[in-house]
Amino acid sequence: MSIAIVTGGASGIGRAIATSLVARGDTVVVTDIDEAGARKVADRLNTLGRGKASAAALDVTDPGAVTGVYQGVRAEHGRLDLVFNNAGIAIGGLAEELTLDHWDRAIDINLKGVVHGVHAAYPIMLEQGAGHIVNTASLAGLVPMPVGIPYTATKHAVVGLSLGLRAEAAGRGVKVSVVCPSFVDTPLLANVNPGLPETPMSGDAKDDIAKASPRLYTAEKLARDVMRGVRRNQALIVAPTHGRAAWRGVRLNPALAVRAAQFAVGRIRADKN
């Protein structure tokens, strides 16, 4: 049985991961800025009759709050085995449509939220000599995804952070993985640019995204991929199959990948005119 923390656990990928953990008998702390949503998830998980779940309100942009929750879990349970730094938001729009507010929010949540989780969890795991940190990035962290480059930039940064930390941590008994999914059918896609100046991509972008990826992957399928990748201690957990194909294509021919992204931008601009 593992002791785990999942951020952004009230919905989507975080909820699916928390469900997979409890289903195998783990004890999970479901955290989210939406405390009521986190408690609802934890209550439902406690009906599975396997592992255990509790909930905690957590704003990942607050480093003190993150450290407090992580240290509190270690104090209560005596250890912290698994951390899923998963909380994030979607940013969409062409570069000329975006403001510095879009950039700042993406960096604060998608990047610094992960940094705060790593900064809180890593010392605990070093002291234990064991543990596994799993950071959620995106396929956008591996390919040149336009029309939301603050999101793309932060996800590239999370990939780099994770792989660099993995190299440092390997000799200390701590494992690090990064999750890079393609488009997943979650509330994230229906709430682009939350609380930010609107762009044509703001709000529910599922229809627009479906044009590029007609068959959205489910959070439940991704959670199975994540759990398998964690068991295998994979550095990069890339899913689904078409996401892995896109990643291979970028590695084989980066210039062609950029041209494909240019084509996608051209279609978007044409649709707007």
Taking 3-state DSSP, the helix, strand and coil percentages for the chain, each rounded to the nearest 5, stand at 55, 15, 30
Tens-place pLDDT, residues 50-60: 999 999 999 99
CATH number, domain with residue 139: 3.40.50.720
Tens-place pLDDT, residues 83-126: 999 999 999 999 999 999 999 999 999 999 999 999 999 999 99
Average pLDDT, the chain: 94
% of the chain with per-residue pLDDT over 70: 96
Tell me, what's the pLDDT at 269? 73
201 within a domain of the structure (yes/no): yes
Domain total in the chain: 1
Tens-place pLDDT, residues 181-229: 998 988 888 899 999 999 988 888 777 666 666 578 999 999 999 999 9
Are 59 and 30 a contacting pair, CB within 8 Å? no
CA distances from 21 to 5, 176, 233, 242, 263 (A): 10, 17, 16, 26, 40
Which residue has 């609802």 as its token pair? 40
119 within a domain of the structure (yes/no): yes
Tell me, what's the pLDDT at 188? 86
Mean pLDDT of 74-82: 98
Residue 259 has pLDDT above 70, yes or no: yes
Tell me whether residue 151 is one of the annotated catalytic residues: yes
Q: Given the residues 70, 122, 151, 217, select the one marked as catalytic.
A: 151
258 within a domain of the structure (yes/no): no
Tell me, what's the pLDDT at 211? 62
pTM of the model: 0.94
Full residue range of the structural domain in which residue 92 is found: 3-244
Mean pLDDT of 30-44: 98
Q: What is the SS3 assignment for 46?
A: coil
151 within a domain of the structure (yes/no): yes
Tell me, what's the pLDDT at 14? 98
**Residues whose CB falls within 8 Å of the CB of residue 9, separated by 6 or more in sequence, listed in order:** 15, 17, 18, 28, 30, 31, 32, 38, 41, 55, 86
249 within a domain of the structure (yes/no): no
